[in-house]
Amino acid sequence: MSVVAIGLSHHTSPVELREQFAFADVKIPDALKSLHESGIASEAVILSTCNRVEIYAATQLEPAQAFVELKQFFRTAHAFENPLGEEIYTFAEPQSLQHLFKVACGLDSMVLGETEILGQLKDAYALAHQHKHTGARLNKIFQRAFHVAKYIRTHTNIQRGSVSVASVAVELAEKIFSSLNERKVLVIGAGEMSEKTARALLSRGARSIIVANRSPERAQVLAREFGGRTVQFDDWAAEFEKIDIAISSTSAPHHILDRAKLELLMKLRKNRPLLLIDIAVPRDIDPAVNFLENVYLYNIDDLQSIADNYLKQRREEIVRCEKIIREKVEALLEAKRIQPQMDTVCMADSDANKIA
């Protein structure tokens, strides 16, 4: 019995196609049952996320035959009638196992090295296991995939650092403040990016969010969502005495905060550190404020440059990760080859003992 993988992902198909092949969670047990009853797979796991739909199957069929049957299953399950070409990829052993391990490690993800996929893969496996569609073969392979993902996370830099602007901002804040708990954040201009950044800060423990926006309705919506409060757009400067982090993303055509203005505000703050994140274009904050003591100003390019560097570091780790995965898959397949021989020897010993 060999393990095959078939599917489509963000690498091979657009979202319009992926959404047609997606399996709703409630329908997965029936789909697995159908795979089993049709004789295509003895064991199977279906992984269906926004970026990929994949089936991992342990089958008695020859891989070529299994791929034909699985493709047909895909089409039938989703009533898809158009022809399919390279959008669907297929892997036989050992590439199927290598692919599963790469997916578990986030090497095949849209955001290289992300960890969300590991949780999704665990959920997919748990669902199949719960409905008794996994057996000795897939259990062992999936457990090993989770183990390898953990190993790679701790022994390489593939998941190190932040690759989004919002999480880089959080990381910067953690380099300045002992802890993000109890930190107060002021959001000036409630754009999408500032919302993401504020959300990331809140998720790491920042205490309260104060929103100032030209449109008070939008400010109120955001403040309600974050459990914070709003201030009049013209009054945001009055909050500087209490806050620790300010995120600015207004559409103002000029600087809304300059050195002279901040110098006065810093005196009120008794020189406590202040992190300014200016994600507006054109910039909201005069770059000269960075020369003030205890002020740390980062604009969108600074943050993007850090995120790009992290991504570069992660890409440099891919070769190392792939080597580890190849070795782990070889070890797994080697163990599979040895096990039947061991079983044969044990049976022979047992027979010999009976004869004796």
Partner 1 sequence: MIFYGLSSAYSVFLWRRGFRKDDRANYFLLLAAFVLHTVAMFERGFSINQCPVNNLYEATTFIAWTIVAAYLVIGLLPRLRFLGAFASHILFAMGVFALMPALDPPHAVQPDFSHGLTSLHAALILLAYGGFGLSAVAALMYLTQEHDLKFHKLRAIFSLLPPIQRLERVMNSLLVSGVALLTLGLAISPALLKEKYGVYFKNDPLLDYAIFIWLFYFGLLIAHRWFGQGGRRFAWSTVGGFTFILLTFWGFILLSQIHQHP
User: Given the rule CB under 8 A, which residues bind partner 1?
Assistant: 161, 168, 171-172, 174-178, 270-273, 290, 293-294, 296, 298, 302, 305-306, 309
Nearer to partner 1, 142 or 177 (CB): 177
In the bound complex, what is the minimum distance in angstroms from residue 45's beta carbon to partner 1?
A: 36
CB of 194 closer than 8 Å to CB of 247? yes
Nearer to partner 1, 18 or 153 (CB): 153
Q: Which of 50, 105, 321, 346 is catalytic?
A: 50
Q: For residue 24, give the DSSP letter.
A: P
In the bound complex, what is the minimum distance in angstroms from residue 94's beta carbon to partner 1?
A: 32
Nearer to partner 1, 98 or 167 (CB): 167
* Measured distance CA(297)–CA(65) in Å, rounded: 60
29-35-39-45 Cα dihedral, nearest 10 degrees: -80
In the bound complex, what is the minimum distance in angstroms from residue 171's beta carbon to partner 1?
A: 6
* Measured distance CA(8)–CA(90) in Å, rounded: 9
Nearer to partner 1, 305 or 339 (CB): 305
In the bound complex, what is the minimum distance in angstroms from residue 311's beta carbon to partner 1?
A: 13
Say whether 50 is catalytic.
yes
* Measured distance CA(193)–CA(151) in Å, rounded: 33
* Measured distance CA(107)–CA(315) in Å, rounded: 9
CB of 186 closer than 8 Å to CB of 236? yes
* Measured distance CA(328)–CA(151) in Å, rounded: 11
Nearer to partner 1, 6 or 306 (CB): 306
CB of 181 closer than 8 Å to CB of 207? yes
Q: What angle do CA 89, 55, 50 make, to 5 degrees?
A: 80
* Measured distance CA(75)–CA(82) in Å, rounded: 9
Q: For residue 298, give the DSSP letter.
A: E
Q: Which two tokens stand for residue 90?
A: 């297929």
In the bound complex, what is the minimum distance in angstroms from residue 80's beta carbon to partner 1?
A: 46
Residues tagged active-site? 50
